[in-house]
Amino acid sequence: MAAVSQLSYVVGTSSDVSGWKKYATEVLGLEVSRDSDDSLLYVRADDRHHRIGVRAGHEDDVAYVGWDVASKAALEAAAAQLDAAGVEVTAGTPEEAADRRVMEFVHFTCPYSGVRMELVLGHEKIFMPRFHPSRDLAGFNTGEMGMGHVVLYAADIAGAADFYSRVLGFGVSDFANIPKVGPFAVFLHCNTRHHSLAFMNIPGAQRRIQHVMFETVSIDDVGRSYDLCLDRGITSTSTGRHQNDHVFSFYFRNPSGWHFEYGWGPRMVDPETWTAENYDLSSGFAWGHDGLMKMV
């Protein structure tokens, strides 16, 4: 059983917070939280206070990634597991917890991606007013599966898979391989979502994050979003269907230069019975996504 229950939030830094504010509503179709300001943008996608955050800064990259834990005991157990594995764990300050809208949290630096990971307890929910998309969208499938997934860069994907499964209880959904090259990516689950965390080995990547995925309620949300992004010239790929999670999706750029994926119709996993799969990127249940292998 995974130490965490779901992906809670992803927060980045950007030199263009005002551009992100416009992008969040006009492109993502999300809702900017009322307590946002010029230094920190909170973006809602469901009943959570925020799922995406953008902090003012000179680096256009990910700042930290938040993961829900179920209880105080689970938080302490996860911290102890990390400590036993030789990973330094630090308690967040009350001021940092207030900033993230959580009761408390601990954080550590991922040994493979260099990204700050935060294990959080009590991420704030907002029941009223309800989330309302800022453009014509049916909404997103989140709930117990979390906000979607995040994909980070790491040179040693096998090491990352071992660390997150052995220390934090993630399950390995599958490995992707490039013929005559070797392992390219690993996909990890912490609930029934096919993957909430993934690592890709792309030498020379300029950032630590590749993309964040939201699962749409309707296939039409993917189609309309694709048309909108195509009109704005910000598509990163064509539409397509993945081999592993079977999702129908496309990717598009954000003001910081990394990517979002809007997808519909993925298959789920049963964490209790799932057996890790292995596939290569030249065959399988897939089509489209032209441009995917050029994304950095």
pLDDT in tens, 7-57: 999 999 999 999 999 999 999 999 999 999 999 999 999 999 999 999 999
Q: What is the residue extent of each domain of the chain?
A: 6-121, 143-294
pLDDT in tens, 204-214: 899 999 999 99
Residue 17: what are its φ and ψ, rounded to 5°? -65, -40
CA 279 centroid distance within chain:
22
pLDDT confidence of residue 159 = 97
pLDDT confidence of residue 157 = 97
- Distance (Å) of CA 111 to CA 115, 137, 139, 163, 179: 8, 38, 34, 9, 27
pLDDT confidence of residue 40 = 97
pLDDT confidence of residue 162 = 97
pLDDT confidence of residue 139 = 96
Note whether 244 and 285 are within 8 A (CB): no
- Distance (Å) of CA 48 to CA 71, 227, 266: 17, 28, 22
Q: Is the pLDDT of residue 155 over 90?
A: yes
Residue 162, CB-side half-sphere exposure with 13 Å CA sphere: 7
Instruction: Output 211 or 177, whichever has higher pLDDT.
Output: 211
Does CATH place domain 143-294 in 3.10.180.10?
Answer: yes
What mean pLDDT is predicted for residues 91-107? 98
pLDDT in tens, 119-129: 999 999 999 99
Q: How many Å apart are CA 128 and CA 34, to the nearest integer? A: 13
Alpha helices in 92-218 (DSSP H): 94-100, 157-166
For the chain, counts of helices (H) and of strands (E): 5, 18
Write down the pTM of the prediction. Answer: 0.97
Q: Is the pLDDT of residue 273 over 90?
A: yes
What mean pLDDT is predicted for residues 229-235? 98
Q: How many Å apart are CA 87 and CA 90, to the nearest integer? A: 10
Q: How many Å apart are CA 210 and CA 112, to the nearest integer? A: 14
Q: Do domains 6-121 and 143-294 have the same CATH topology?
A: yes
Does CATH place domain 6-121 in 3.30.56.10?
Answer: no
Q: How many Å apart are CA 34 and CA 44, to the nearest integer? A: 10
